[in-house]
């Protein structure tokens, strides 16, 4: 462990600030043999719901200039399948496992998931995915997306507060960029008892095949990730850092160590690597080494000296 890289997110102790983001790293097993998973700071599981989900129809992904559109729809084996099949594999890695949870049935399902996970030692922390833009209404044929809790400050407060009473584990709330003031939402999560926030989730977007005049995604719209969203994400991390006192996990288009350093300087205590994993499975380890070299080059004894160090007159 390099002590200068260590971070502590309200009890979630990481040997370094680089985390494999939810949804792009599967359950770890997909990357075994390609990268030494023990070198990562943590892994966030693919989001789970109480019951198994088949996800959205295909095609679910489409490349865009400097980005990737996806509408997976939270396909997952459900809580029982995750605990029986996936968690044992993740547990063997030997690094903190953050479990991402979402709900098809409102607050009660979030609470139940949190209660179940609270009793499992292998789970280091829980991430509340209240900001996925790709869930369709499972109880009707309506094509509209379910309302995002993360788009409403009051709803965010109510949900986080309810889950906070259900678990003692570090609680991370994942925020949506599809809002007018992400700082207000982050503040609500903090007041409700969230130990940290992670941002940003994908930006709602779409792409059209001009030859067929049809959407490139079966669900029409999806979430945009990749380098195209990074400047937006960095700006939002900076805005949130000035509004709250709890730690921030920054994400959005991080492809190399310099990108990760932008987020940290803007105020992130840690960063999550997502889309870049599809291009270079070793990218997270390379970013860890890049951050370490940056600290050495600038005579910084700890990553803590870099967090929120942006020199800005505003």
Distances (CA, A) of 59 to 131, 215, 256: 22, 10, 28
**pLDDT tens across 57-116, in order?**
999 999 999 999 999 999 999 999 999 999 999 999 999 999 999 998 889 999 999 999
CB 233 within 8 A of CB 250: yes
Q: What pLDDT does residue 142 have? A: 44
Say if residue 2's pLDDT is above 60. no
**In this predicted model, what pLDDT tens digit does every residue of 149-167 receive, in sequence order?**
999 999 999 999 999 999 9
Distance CA 50, CA 303 (A): 37
- The 8-class DSSP code of residue 20 comes to E
Helices vs. strands in the chain: H and E counts, helices first = 9, 16
Catalytic (active-site) positions = 132
- With 90 as the cut, is the pLDDT of residue 293 above it? yes
Give the pLDDT of residue 203: 96
- Return the pLDDT at 294: 98
- What would the mean pLDDT of 264-285 be, rounded to a whole number? 96
Average pLDDT score over residue span 282-310: 97
What is the sign, positive or negative, of the torsion defined by CA atoms of 225, 227, 229, 233? positive
What confidence tier does 1 reach under pLDDT thresholds 50, 70, 90? very low
Residues pairing with 64 in the sheet: 67
- Whether the pLDDT of residue 280 is over 60: the answer is yes
Q: How far apart are CA 73 and CA 261, in angstroms?
A: 31
Query: Where are any strands of DSSP class E within 10-60?
Result: 12-14, 18-20, 42-44
Res. 52: pLDDT tops 50: yes
User: DSSP letters of 115-142?
Assistant: HHHHT-TT--EEEEE---TT-B-TTSS-
Predicted confidence (pLDDT) at residue 123 exceeds the cutoff of 50: yes
For residue 310, which of 253, 251, 241, 258 has the smallest C-alpha distance?
241
pLDDT digits (tens, 9 = 90+) for 217-249: 999 999 999 999 999 999 999 999 999 999 999
pLDDT above 90 coverage of the chain, percent: 87
pLDDT at 313 over 90: no
**What is the C-alpha to C-alpha distance for residues 106 and 93, in angstroms, rounded to an integer?**
32
Q: What pLDDT was estimated at residue 30?
A: 82
The CATH number of domain 3-55+73-203+225-305 is 3.10.20.30:
no
Q: Confidence class of residue 29 from pLDDT cuts 50, 70 and 90?
A: confident
pLDDT band for position 139 (cuts 50, 70, 90):
very low
Residues 3-18, mean pLDDT to the nearest whole number: 96
Taking residue 279's Cβ as centre, other Cβ atoms within 10 Å add up to 10
Q: What's the whole-number mean pLDDT along residues 127-132?
A: 90
Q: State the average pLDDT for the chain.
A: 93
Sequential DSSP letters for 160-179:
HHHHHTT--S-EEEEPPSSS
């Amino acid at each position: 462990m390099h002590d200068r890289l260590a971070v502590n997110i309200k009890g979630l102790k990481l040997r370094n600030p680089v985390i494999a983001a939810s949804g792009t790293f599967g359950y770890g097993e997909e990357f075994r043999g390609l990268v030494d998973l023990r070198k990562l700071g943590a892994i966030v599981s693919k989001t789970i719901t109480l019951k198994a989900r088949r996800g959205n129809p295909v095609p679910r992904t489409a490349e865009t200039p400097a980005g990737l559109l996806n509408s997976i729809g939270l396909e997952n084996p459900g809580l029982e399948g995750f605990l029986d099949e996936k968690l044992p594999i993740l547990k063997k890695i030997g690094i903190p496992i953050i479990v991402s949870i979402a709900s098809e049935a409102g607050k009660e399902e979030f609470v139940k998931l949190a209660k179940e996970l609270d009793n499992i030692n292998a789970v280091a922390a829980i991430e509340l995915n209240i900001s996925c833009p790709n869930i369709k209404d499972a109880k009707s044929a309506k094509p509209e997306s379910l309302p995002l809790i993360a788009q409403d400050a009051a709803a965010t407060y109510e949900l986080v507060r309810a889950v906070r009473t259900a678990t003692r584990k570090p609680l991370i709330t994942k925020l949506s960029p599809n809002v007018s003031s992400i700082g207000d939402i982050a503040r609500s999560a903090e007041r409700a008892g969230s130990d940290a926030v992670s941002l940003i989730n994908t930006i709602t977007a779409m792409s059209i095949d001009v030859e067929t005049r049809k959407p490139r995604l079966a669900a029409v719209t999806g979430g945009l990730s990749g380098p195209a969203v990074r400047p937006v994400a960095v700006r939002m991390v900076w805005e949130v850092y000035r509004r709250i006192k709890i730690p921030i996990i920054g994400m959005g288009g991080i492809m190399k160590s310099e990108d990760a350093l932008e987020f940290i300087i803007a105020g992130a205590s840690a960063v999550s690597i997502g889309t870049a994993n599809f291009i270079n499975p070793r990218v997270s380890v390379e970013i860890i080494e890049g951050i370490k070299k940056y600290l050495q080059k600038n005579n910084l004894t700890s990553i803590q000296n870099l967090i929120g160090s942006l020199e800005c007159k505003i």
